[in-house]
Amino acid sequence: MTQTSDSVTWLTQEAYDRLKAELEYLSGPARIEISKKIEAAREEGDLRENGGYHAAKEEQGKQEARIRQLQHLLDNAKVGEAPADDGVVEPGMVVTIAFDGDPDDTLTFLLGSREYADDKIEIYSPQSPLGSAINGKKRGDEAVYELPNGSRAAVKILEAKPYQS
């Protein structure tokens, strides 16, 4: 699972392998593809009015930024096991909470890093106000955290299960 503690990110072996494969693709075949697109667009003539050239250069910039992001993430990653299914909230757990103890006002999310999960589940960072308030709590525990407007919200942990991709 993932947990960022200063510059260390905890990843399962599966997440590490997936991110490493993405980095290898972007650093190899994808770089060659974008270079070919840029060269082909450059051969079309005047670069100032060449939309294809500018689009390819923008794509290249985004790709290089992602490569740097992945390199940093993987350089600072610690690979470990998924958390135990013990009901304790920690990074890598899918957590369901009830606001103000109301069982009809619930939220389910992954406590962890965006790099770990897909877009099918909402993700909260362990460093977020909610994430830090519930981290380490158990099923049935209550926690209070500060909202952006300065008021406080109370939540009750209904469930905490390891994330399954």
Mode of pairing for the β-strands spanning 106-111 and 123-124 = parallel
pLDDT of residue 44: 83
Give the CATH fold of the 4-80 domain: Helix Hairpins (1.10.287)
- Decide if 4-80 and 93-162 have a common fold: no
Class of domain 93-162 as given by CATH: alpha beta
Q: Is the pLDDT of residue 8 over 70?
A: no
pLDDT of residue 150: 92
pLDDT of residue 2: 44
Would you say the pTM of this structure is higher than 0.85?
A: no
CA nearest to 146, candidates 135, 137, 138, 154 = 154
Domain layout of the chain by residue ranges: 4-80, 93-162
SS3 126: coil
pLDDT of residue 10: 66
Structure confidence by residue, pLDDT tens digits, 79-123 = 776 677 888 998 888 999 999 867 788 999 988 876 665 667 888
Any residues with CB less than 8 A from the CB of 114 and at least 6 apart, and which?
123
SS3 77: strand
